[in-house]
Amino acid sequence: MKILIDMNLSPDWAPILKDAGFEATHWSQVGDPHDPDKTIMDFAASHGMIVFTHDLDFGAILAATGADAPSVLQVRTQDVDPISMTTAVITILREHHEDLQQGALISFDESTHRVRILPIHP
């Protein structure tokens, strides 16, 4: 599974995810840090990547456009430090591997998560 880490998350996530067996790239390694979310979404979709973000706009873009890709993993907590969230992120990625491969928006915090299969219908 290939993961594109959004600018609002630390580049430290990339080696952590790689150590867990995922392909992971921080946006700063492939794009302009000032690129709009749509550019990041288009890049991820065209490269078969999942967007890992702390930005609620990605879910809104999926809902507004009715897109079926890319999948988005959206952390909804203030503490996005890799040390605090590593176990939860890796668990969700492994448990929902098939959903993410087919197209999903997964929102999660420290205690719960929600999976919405793409496309999202209003």
Domain span at residue 6 reads 2-117
Query: Looking at the whole model, is its pTM more than 0.85?
Result: yes
DSSP per-residue codes, 76-109: -SS---HHHHHHHHHHHHHHTHHHHHH-EEEEE-
Instruction: Please give the pLDDT value at position 111.
Output: 86
Place of tokens 């990041």: 40
On whether residue 122 sits in a domain, the answer given is no
Sheet holding 104-108, edge to edge: 23-26, 2-5, 49-53, 72-75, 104-108, 113-117
On whether residue 62 sits in a domain, the answer given is yes
- What confidence tens digit (pLDDT) does each residue in 24-44 have? 999 999 999 999 999 999 999
On whether residue 89 sits in a domain, the answer given is yes
On whether residue 26 sits in a domain, the answer given is yes
Residue at 95: amino acid letter: E
On whether residue 13 sits in a domain, the answer given is yes
Instruction: Please give the pLDDT value at position 122.
Output: 66
Residues 54/61, Cβ–Cβ less than 8 Å: no
On whether residue 37 sits in a domain, the answer given is yes
E strand or H helix at 2: strand 2-5
Q: How confident is the model at residue 110 (pLDDT cuts 50, 70, 90)?
A: confident
On whether residue 50 sits in a domain, the answer given is yes
On whether residue 39 sits in a domain, the answer given is yes
- What confidence tens digit (pLDDT) does each residue in 67-84 have? 999 999 999 998 899 988
Report the number of distinct structural domains present in the chain. 1
Judge whether residue 58 has pLDDT over 80. yes
